[in-house]
Amino acid sequence: MSVMYVTKETLEQMRAELHKMKTVERPAASRAIAEAREKGDLKENAEYDAAKEAQGLLEARISRMESELANARILDASEIDTSKVSILTKVTITNKATKKSMTYQIVSEKEADLKLQKISVTSPIGKGLLGKKVGDEAEIQAPNGKITFSIDHITI
């Protein structure tokens, strides 16, 4: 798994989520299995099968979260270079065809939320903007064709 850059707040949210899965959800899954086991023959017990499957999915989520945390690196906003588009920068771009201007913050996949104008560094637009400077143009391949954006402003 590759390194995932996150803010300190996101790292804390990830740790809290992992703690909840281990201390709340894991014991609940074990109780559900125990209750289903008490109901009789395991060969024909759909409730037991469902509880075991839910436990397996939970363990997979825990494992994935532990791996993500092991590979997470905290980004410090004070160390971000705003001369070019990089992760954690806010970039104002203008669509050359529609003349519509928008501002996005480039973030990790874990933090991406289009409603908050946060786009993933791995998204087509995020990838296309990385490394660009104010005044540059970025040609991005979107599902409906190529879109050209001009880079207007870069901040933290």
Per-residue pLDDT tens, the chain, 156 aa: give them.
577 888 888 899 999 999 999 999 999 999 998 888 888 776 778 888 889 999 999 999 999 999 999 988 887 777 788 899 998 899 999 999 999 999 999 998 888 999 999 999 989 999 999 999 999 999 998 888 899 999 999 998
pLDDT for the residue 1: 55
**Other CB atoms within 10 A of residue 125 CB:** 21
- Domains in the chain: ranges and CATH: 4-74 (1.10.287.180), 77-155 (3.10.50.30)
pLDDT for the residue 36: 85
pTM: 0.69
- Please state the separation of Cα 64 from the chain's center in Å: 13
From edge to edge, which strands make up the β-sheet containing 90-95? 118-120, 101-107, 90-95, 145-155, 137-142
**Other CB atoms within 10 A of residue 16 CB:** 10
Return all residues near 116 (Cβ < 8 A) that are at least 6 apart.
105
**Spatial distance between the Cα atoms of 135 and 151, rounded to a whole number of angstroms:** 5
pLDDT for the residue 78: 75
pLDDT for the residue 27: 95
Structure tokens at 95: 């669509």
Return all residues near 68 (Cβ < 8 A) that are at least 6 apart.
1, 4, 14, 110
